[in-house]
Amino acid sequence: MSIGFASMIMRDSVFQILIIAAPVLLIGMSVGLVISIFQATTSIQEQTLTFVPKIIAIFLVLAFFGPWMFSSMREFALNIFRLIPDMAG
C-alpha cells in the first residue's frame, strides 16, 4: 500500500465523517444559538432551557437523517472492504 493510497483512504474517511456529522452539528448549533439569543433578551439563565431543546432537536435530526446516515456509512464500509485486496498488494 502506497502513501498516496493511504492518504486517499484517510481523506475519504475524514470527508465521510464531516458529511455525516454536518446535519446534527448544524441543527444543534442553530438551536443553541436561538436559545442563547432568547436567554440574552429575556435574562432567563436556566440551564435546562438550553439542554432540553438541543437534545430534542438532535433526536429529531437523527430520526430524519438516520437512514441516510446509515446507508452512507454502509456504502463507505463496503467500499473500504472492496479495497482490502489493493491494500495487501
Average pLDDT over residues 64-80: 96
Using H for helix, E for strand and C for coil, what is the string for the chain? CCHHHHHHHHHHHHHHHHHHHHHHHHHHHHHHHHHHHHHHHHCCCCHHHHHHHHHHHHHHHHHHHHHHHHHHHHHHHHHHHHCHHHHHC
Q: How many domains is the chain built from?
A: 1
pLDDT (tens digit, 9 = 90+) per residue, 47-66? 788 889 999 999 999 999 99
Domain that includes residue 33, residue range = 3-88
pLDDT (tens digit, 9 = 90+) per residue, 9-62? 999 999 999 999 999 999 999 999 999 999 889 888 887 888 899 999 999 999
pLDDT at 89: 64
